């Protein structure tokens, strides 16, 4: 077994590794390369807000996939709760056609259907470099792919159970809002105020845990001129 195969096995990403007692690898695919900002927000949120290990990230010719590794197998019902919770809390504004839940298709690194491009694991900090071309032009080095995966850890059972409880609350709140609530998403942010200036308000929106990915993105875009001015000579 080479180094890459060992890392794939450690993280339970190899085909056929699922046991009869449940799954140990979960995936969320973003089907458009233009949705990297939403994928990046989720990647950061599971670490910063849910206190989970970072998921691995790959490109597959169409978009991005986040790979979650579990230290212990979980039942299909728990998998659904976890993925539904992540979607309700962080991806509620994403159309269903642009998301795919589960792990399907060829395991990276792999040659894509056109035989000229490759899917591969990537450094999450470089995800924005693939928004135009979510693939590699040549076969990635297997040892370098192994080194990337070596930095990722599996979600421990206690971490997974704690997160399920947090995400169940998000799903319940989402359900409550859908039953007759006519307030807009901005009305439900409950941001503390007042704010001294627009920049302070936009920073609050960008960092609000209950803000949707789209709201955070729009706030970040509006903040860009402030920070560009600071960096200008």
pLDDT, one tens digit per residue, over 176-224 is 554 443 334 444 455 656 666 677 777 777 777 667 777 777 777 777 7
The span from the first CA to the last CA of the chain, in angstroms, equals 54
Within a domain: 55: yes
Do 105 and 204 reside in the same domain of the chain? no
Do 208 and 133 reside in the same domain of the chain? no
Within a domain: 174: no
**pLDDT greater than 80 at residue 31:** yes
Q: What is the mean pLDDT of residues 143-170?
A: 95
CA distances for 114 relative to 60, 121, 122, angstroms? 12, 19, 20
Do 125 and 47 reside in the same domain of the chain? yes
Do 131 and 211 reside in the same domain of the chain? no
Q: In what helix (H) or strand (E) does residue 7 lie, and over which residues does it extend?
A: helix 3-10
Within a domain: 131: yes
**Residue that has been written with the tokens 């206190």 in this structure:** 51
Within a domain: 136: yes
What is the pTM (predicted TM-score) of this model? 0.73
Span 67-124, pLDDT tens digits: 999 999 999 999 999 999 999 999 999 999 999 998 877 899 999 987 789 999 999 9
Do 137 and 225 reside in the same domain of the chain? no
> Beta partners for 121?
58
Q: Which domain holds residue 199?
A: 184-231
Within a domain: 134: yes
Measure the CA–CA gap between 69 and 63, rounded to whole angstroms: 20
Number of domains in the chain: 2
Do 121 and 195 reside in the same domain of the chain? no
Q: What is the mean pLDDT of residues 33-46?
A: 96
Measure the CA–CA gap between 29 and 134, rounded to whole angstroms: 12
Higher pLDDT, 163 or 217: 163
Within a domain: 48: yes
């Amino acid at each position: 077994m080479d180094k890459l195969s060992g890392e794939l096995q450690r993280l339970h990403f190899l085909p056929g590794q699922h046991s009869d007692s449940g799954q140990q690898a979960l995936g969320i695919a973003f089907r458009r390369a233009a949705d990297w900002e939403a994928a990046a927000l989720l990647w950061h949120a599971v670490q910063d807000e849910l206190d989970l290990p970072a998921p691995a990230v790959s490109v597959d010719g169409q978009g991005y996939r986040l790979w979650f590794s579990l230290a212990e197998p979980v039942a299909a019902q728990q998998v659904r709760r976890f993925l539904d919770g992540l979607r309700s809390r962080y991806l509620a504004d994403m159309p269903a056609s642009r998301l795919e839940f589960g792990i399907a298709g060829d395991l990276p690194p792999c040659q894509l259907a056109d035989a000229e491009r490759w899917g591969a694991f990537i450094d999450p900090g470089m995800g924005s470099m693939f928004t135009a071309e979510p693939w590699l032009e040549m076969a990635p080095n297997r040892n370098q792919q192994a080194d990337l995966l070596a930095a990722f850890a599996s979600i421990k059972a206690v971490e997974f159970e704690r997160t399920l409880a947090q995400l169940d609350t998000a799903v319940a709140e989402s359900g409550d809002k859908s039953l007759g609530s006519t307030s807009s998403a901005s009305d439900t942010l409950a941001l503390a105020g007042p704010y001294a200036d627009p920049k302070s308000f936009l920073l609050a929106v960008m960092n609000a845990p209950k803000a949707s990915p789209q709201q955070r993105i729009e706030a970040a875009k509006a903040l860009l001129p402030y920070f560009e001015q600071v960096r200008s000579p």
